[in-house]
Structure 1
């Protein structure tokens, strides 16, 4: 069975994939030079940080910040800013709809994104957002 950390990361990828059905969703991928037409979301593993500990029963409590990079390009009817905003809103709605990732976490929340334009030679200008989902969960073993 996968560790709690891996289960949470897989659940975040699945949540974003369901929220963005037209986008390509990957985990720990390199930033590409071209953005797919439906957009792109890259979920990074992040760092669970130093846990708090409960001693009886022994439980490690993590507040795991999971970076999410979202990229959009303009569509025929919307600017890249509008497409990116719609993607972020869909992720926010998915997070609000399942604050426990199906019972894996005590709570998840999204952080506000930082956005920027990305220019690549010979490609359409894309709009990137760096956001994060913060998952709070406990486990009996820091390697589990």
Structure 2
């Protein structure tokens, strides 16, 4: 597995510790959201790595995108559930800033919040959270 794939897998594993969270990789928002919330980790982009010579190493600052959503009938319940989910995500990721040694540093960044209410359905509050992963790889791939 590549250093990037190991890092993304470690993020997903850390988030799987959140009770009731329905966590996926690269998945669209489902029609029905689990009571504990929905999260999908999207690959994101790395940008240009910094190259080190002797020995050859590449230092990456990769930003993955975590899409999250909760569904509740009332705006107050929706806001509370969304806030609790964001707090749980932050706590899960900062508990081990190296994600068991797969990265040099992980950082949760401020994201974007959106509120949608489908016709005849409960309201959905969704957002995306950028997750910065700093890691070193022994090849540029």
Q: Which residue number corresponds to residue 139 of structure 2?
A: 141
RMSD, aligned CA: 1.5
C-alpha contact 1:67 1:133 (8 A) present in aligned 2 = yes
The normalised TM-score by structure 2 is 0.92
Q: Which residue number corresponds to residue 45 of structure 2?
A: 47
Unpaired stretches in structure 1, ≥5 consecutive residues? none
Q: Does 1:15 align with 2:23?
A: no
Q: 1:79, 1:110 → 2: CA distance? A: 24
Q: Name the count of aligned residue pairs.
A: 140
Q: 2:3, 2:120 → 1: CA distance? A: 42
- Once the 2 structures are TM-superposed, how far is the Cα of residue 74 of structure 1 from its aligned partner? 2.3
The normalised TM-score by structure 1 is 0.91
C-alpha contact 1:75 1:83 (8 A) present in aligned 2 = no
**Cα distance 1:89–1:75, how it changes in 2: closer, same or farther (>3 A)?**
farther
Deviations 1:38-89 (A, max 9, x none): 210010011111101111211111001010011012279x611110111110
* Residue number among 9, 23, 26 corresponding to 2:24 in the alignment: 26
C-alpha contact 2:66 2:128 (8 A) present in aligned 1 = yes
**Runs of 4+ with deviation above 4 angstroms:** none
